[in-house]
Each structure stands twice: as structure tokens, then as C-alpha cells.
Amino acid sequence: MKIKLTTCFLLCFQFVLFAQQDAWVYLKDKQNVADAIANPITILTQNAIDRKNTHGVAIDERDVPVNENYMSQLKSATGILVKAKSKWLNAVHVRGSQNDIEALINLDFVVSIDFADKSLNTSKTAKQKTVSKLENVDVAFNYGSASNQIEMIKGDKLHLQDYTGLGMTVAVLDAGFPNVNTIGGFKRLRDAGRILGTYDFVDRDTNVYSNTTSNHGTLVLSTMAGYIENQFVGTAPDASYYLFVTEDGFNENPVEESYWVEAAERADSLGVDVINSSLGYGSFYDNPNYNYPASSYDGNTAYITKGANIAFEKGLLIVNSAGNEGTAGINAPADAVGVFSIGAVNASGNYASFSSRGNSYQPTQKPDVVAQGQNSYVITENNSVATANGTSFSSPIMAGGIVCLWQALPNKSNVEIMQLVRESASQYNNPDNYLGYGISNLEMALNSVIGNSNESTFEEIVLYPNPSNNIVYVGLPENTNIVSIRLFDFLGRKVNDFSISNEYNSIDVSSLSSGLYIARIESGNEVKAIKLIKK
């Protein structure tokens, strides 16, 4: 009898809990779009504008904020709680009863409603997230212990050339960052004024340090920014950082996807270069009806994945943990076509069994590359050097290295940097779903650019017109006879090969889809990469 009462209580509790539904409401249009784009300083910071101009990223309607009049009407709608919004997706995350949410379709500015519980949608698949599994830490005081994880990817070689992240900006999207504002492991970062800002998108305040539900963000940040004299150095110790909480430690709900997209939008508006996200969503929601089927991890479906792809288009470089689900596979947003996903290996460079594997659902190679994620060294909230397991740590270790590489090659785009890192990896010519392209060699990636640039007339090669609809001409210096051009799409996939001379100096791109491409021009030992835009 007691068991029956307990069962009844649990069922009743679940009924009450899940009576509240989550959904994304997609909106019709925005206000003053033309004026905002013509005066971008009204919607973006100057740093963001400068970064977009440097990398040829267009400022468009997606940069314009959500219509505040629509927001007001949604907030005042019966039974509706507005939890988050996305300017990129022109969508609002709401919570309420199924009936109250469905009633929003009657508002003339609502285009569609997408319930997180897919069974409630009449004609489309729903979206969701995978809880980030926060790793337990085994405290072990090992001095100088961070050396292997940075030497594995040759990030130390970049440091020797004074590429330590200075002038680069990173947004860390994670759970709490307890004691980052007080412990010695981040004193160097604080004293230099390189924590540029903080925000908790879950609690809607700026205090990210008192969140005691998780120390995950502190551990993650330490692998990039931590510094203890003669004991520990992160992979990007001189970069600047924004610390954003998007993970709710108490609940697993798709609203965390929406928080993540909000944070990515803010990072873009602040001129951030690189996002590190050691989070994954889609398979472990409190309400199992919200869980994505495996087929949804296709690089384009999940709400958070769609937001990540837009962030990539906006010029951000997103580094995300592949996940700790092993054979269960990659989840969102690591599945995104525009996300650089990082798997895990041990200290010897061998596959870590927990590291999520790619599969046929992803349209691109996943993971992209790997770094040390088994027995990675971190700084804890108690200022102790410790070990931890998870792709949560291989991701920021690699992200910090990429930050230093981008510092060395500031004129490269996010597409070019990602491709350089892939090409430097240990199994670039034979990737698999365990290690992706393998363990990257950042020194090799840097040398492939600067080592082949000998200030010759080869640097004078140009492509025109650019953008182009069909024919692109290649302007060759007089003393250059024949060059080869290998064309890659923005995902790093080879599209075509061309041979160019002063006599035959054009390529036909009329059959290509509109978008961004990378033309890798080679002659002997000389290499040059040029962005090509197909209209």
C-alpha cells in the first residue's frame, strides 16, 4: 500500500512538473532593420564591427535585436513566462501550459511555434539538449603537470614565439566559476584586467562566482587562463575572457539551449574571437519527451546547433567538447557544421573510451581533432592542481592553442584557422570517428603559413572579381609560370582542383553554391590562401 501511494505521488508530481511546457516562438519581422544596418554602432560594439570588417563578415538583419513590442506582448500573454530570446533566430523561448502556448499562434507577429516536446508539434521535429555531465576531480598536487597537454598540440612552441593569446578575446560558456575572482590561480589574469565581463544567463545577473552548483567553469577556464608560478600554465594565459553561465545545475531543460544562443549573440556583439563551450545537449532532459532522436544530430536541426552555425557565419570560431557519451555519439552543438568539435585522448595520445564518436548522421567529420581529456590537469576552486576526465577539458586546451595560433595569423578567417588546424593533425589524410583528423600540431599549422611566405612576388597573386557569379580571373606576377589552385568550401571539404598559367588564368565557379570558399594557391614550396565569395 505504501508503495502504491509513493507511486501515485511520483506520477502526480511528474504530471504537475510536465504540465508546464517549453517552446520556441518564431517571430515575423524586426524594427528599423535598414537604419540599424546602416548605423551598426547602434546594435554592436566597435570591437565587433572591427572584427567583422577584418574578416569580411557582413552585418545583416540577424544582428538586429528582437522586436521589443513583440516581446512585451508575449510577456503579457496569459500563462506565458518568457525565458530567453535570440536575435539570430528571431525567436523567443517561452514556458507555460500547452494551451496557453498554442494560443500564441493567434498573435499576428508569431510565425510558428516549436514545442520542445516533439509529440506536441503537428508537422515538425522538436529540438532539445543534452545535459553536460560535469566531471569529478581527483586532487593530485603535481608541479608543472600541465606540460604534457600543451606539448601534445605544440602550443608551447607558439608561446616561445610570444603568441600567448595577447589581444585575443574568448567567451567561456559554462556552468559556475566559483572563486575565479579570489584564488591565486587566476591572480595573473585578474591583475592584468583580462576578465572583461561576466553574466549569468540563468539567474540574470553578473555574479558568476557564487554559483555553488558546479565548479565546472572554473576547471575549464583554468586549462586556458590558469597560472601558478612553476606549477601550471594554461594554453592561452594572456588572452582576455568573458565568463558566461548558460548551464542550469538544478534542471535539465531545453531553455539552456536558448541561454547558450543568447550568450553566443552577446559574445558576437562584444567582438569576441573564440567561444569555448564544454557543454552538450539533447539526450538527458528532465522531461524525456524533450530528448532529441539520434538522427537530429545532423549538424542543422537542434535549436542550439542552428544558433552555433549562425555564430560561425558571423565570424566567431566555436570550439566545443565532443561529449563523453562514447558509442552513443556526438550531440548538440558539437554536431554543428560550423563548430570545431574536440574529442579526447589520454596522455599518450590514445583514444579515451568515454569520448563521443562521430557517426553517419553528421555531414562533416566529427570530432574534428582531439586533445588530452583523460587525466587533464586543472586548477580547482580551492587553488589546487588536480586531474579531471572529460572532453570538457580537451576542448578548452585546444581552444587556448587555437587562440594563440589566431593571434599569430590575425588576417586569417575562422574558416582558414580551422582548416589549418585540421591539416596539421596526425591523421589528416585518414580521419576516423574516434580521433577525427587526429592530434593537431599548432607549430606546423603556423609554419605552413609563415614558413612558406618568403616575401616573393607570389604574394601578389589576386583573384578578381571577388565576389563573383561565374568566372574568376587569377592575376599572376610576371615571373610566376604555373600555379595550382585547390578550392575548399567553408567546412574544409575539397571542391575542385585547377591549374593556372599566364595563358590560362581563369576558373569557372558558376556551378558552385553561393557562399564562402578558400582558394589554396600553391607553387613549389609557396602557399597562399585567399577567401573567395560566390554570389
Kindly report the CATH number assigned to the domain that includes residue 94: 3.30.70
User: How many secondary structure helices (H) and strands (E) does the chain include?
Assistant: 14, 23
Average pLDDT over all residues of the chain: 88
Residue 98: domain span:
19-120
Q: pLDDT at residue 144 above 80?
A: no
Tell me the C-alpha distance between 401 and 163, whole Å.
Answer: 9
Q: Are residues 412 and 467 in the same domain?
A: no
Q: pLDDT at residue 423 above 60?
A: yes
Q: Which of 122-136, 192-206, 282-296, 429-443 has the lowest mean pLDDT?
A: 122-136
Tell me the C-alpha distance between 170 and 322, whole Å.
Answer: 19
Task: Count other Cβ atoms within 10 Å, centred on residue 124.
Answer: 12
Concatenate the DSSP letters of all residues of 151-179 into one string: HTTTHHHHHHTT-SSTT-EEEEEES--TT
Provide mean pLDDT across the span 290-298.
Answer: 96
Q: Are residues 52 and 171 in the same domain?
A: no
Strand order in the sheet with 526-534: 494-501, 482-489, 515-523, 526-534
Q: Are residues 322 and 423 in the same domain?
A: yes
Q: pLDDT at residue 72 above 80?
A: yes
43 inside domain: yes
CATH code for the domain of 507: 2.60.40.3080
The C-alpha cell at 118 is: 516533439
Q: Are residues 411 and 476 in the same domain?
A: no
- pLDDT value at residue 498: 86
Percentage of the residues of the chain whose pLDDT score is greater than 70 = 88
Provide mean pLDDT across the span 427-436.
Answer: 96
Helix (H, G, I), strand (E, B) or coil at 307: helix
Residue listed under C-alpha cell 521589443: 68
Q: Are residues 264 and 403 in the same domain?
A: yes
153 inside domain: yes
Cα–chain center distance at 308? 6
Q: Which of 58, 89, 120 is the last residue of a domain?
A: 120
- pLDDT value at residue 431: 96
Q: At what angle do helices 391-408 and 414-423 cross, to 10 degrees?
A: 110
Residue listed under C-alpha cell 580537451: 394
As a dihedral over the C-alpha atoms of residue 286, residue 291, residue 297, residue 302, rounded to 10 degrees, the angle is -80
Q: Residue 365 corresponds to which amino acid?
A: Q
The C-alpha cell at 151 is: 606539448
Q: pLDDT at residue 118 above 50?
A: yes
Q: Are residues 149 and 45 in the same domain?
A: no
Q: How many domains does the chain have?
A: 3
145 inside domain: yes
4 inside domain: no
- pLDDT value at residue 524: 67
- pLDDT value at residue 519: 84
Q: Are residues 226 and 268 in the same domain?
A: yes
Q: Is the peptide bond before 254 cis (omega within 30 degrees of 0)?
A: no
Q: pLDDT at residue 455 above 50?
A: no
DSSP 8-state code for residue 25: E
Task: Please state, in angstroms and as integers, the Cα–Cα distance from residue 356 to each residue in 367, 368, 378, following that order.
Answer: 8, 12, 21
492 inside domain: yes
CATH code for the domain of 231: 3.40.50.200
pLDDT band at 58 (very low <50, low <70, confident <90, very high): confident
- pLDDT value at residue 332: 98
Q: pLDDT at residue 453 above 80?
A: no
| Model pLDDT for residues 320-370, shown as the tens digit of each residue | 999 999 999 999 999 999 999 999 999 999 999 999 999 999 999 999 999
Q: Are residues 292 and 314 in the same domain?
A: yes
Tell me the C-alpha distance between 356 and 326, whole Å.
Answer: 4
Q: Are residues 318 and 419 in the same domain?
A: yes
Q: Which of 26-30, 385-389, 461-465 has the lowest mean pLDDT?
A: 461-465
265, 224 Cβ separation under 8 angstroms: no
Q: Are residues 23 and 168 in the same domain?
A: no
Q: Which of 92, 120, 148 is the last residue of a domain?
A: 120
131 inside domain: no
Q: Do strands 317-321 and 339-345 pair parallel, antiparallel, or not at all (unpaired)?
A: parallel
Task: Please state, in angstroms and as integers, the Cα–Cα distance from residue 406 to each residue in 169, 233, 396, following that order.
Answer: 11, 19, 15
pLDDT band at 139 (very low <50, low <70, confident <90, very high): very low
The C-alpha cell at 250 is: 538544478
The pTM (predicted TM-score) of the whole model is 0.77
Tell me the C-alpha distance between 172 and 324, whole Å.
Answer: 19
Among 378, 413, 384, residue whose Cα is nearest residue 222:
378
| Model pLDDT for residues 457-495, shown as the tens digit of each residue | 556 677 878 778 888 888 776 666 678 888 887 666 778
- pLDDT value at residue 89: 96
Q: pLDDT at residue 282 above 80?
A: yes
Residues 6+ apart with CB under 8 A from 232: 144, 145, 146, 185, 222, 226, 377, 379, 385
Q: Are residues 293 and 320 in the same domain?
A: yes
Q: Are residues 316 and 351 in the same domain?
A: yes
Q: pLDDT at residue 18 above 70?
A: no
199 inside domain: yes
Q: pLDDT at residue 201 above 50?
A: yes
520 inside domain: yes
Q: Is the dihedral of CA 249, 255, 257, 258 positive or negative?
A: negative
Residue listed under C-alpha cell 596539421: 424
- pLDDT value at residue 484: 86
80, 94 Cβ separation under 8 angstroms: yes
DSSP 8-state code for residue 205: B
Q: pLDDT at residue 127 above 70?
A: no
The secondary element (H helix, E strand) that includes residue 92 is: strand 91-96
Residue 101: what are its φ and ψ, rounded to 5°? -70, -45
Residue listed under C-alpha cell 531553455: 255
Q: Which of 135-144, 165-174, 356-365, 381-390 has the lowest mean pLDDT?
A: 135-144
Among 520, 415, 534, residue whose Cα is nearest residue 467:
534
Provide mean pLDDT across the span 265-275.
Answer: 97
Q: pLDDT at residue 106 above 50?
A: yes
Residues 6+ apart with CB under 8 A from 468: 509, 532, 533, 534, 535
Q: Which of 404, 421, 450 is the last residue of a domain?
A: 450
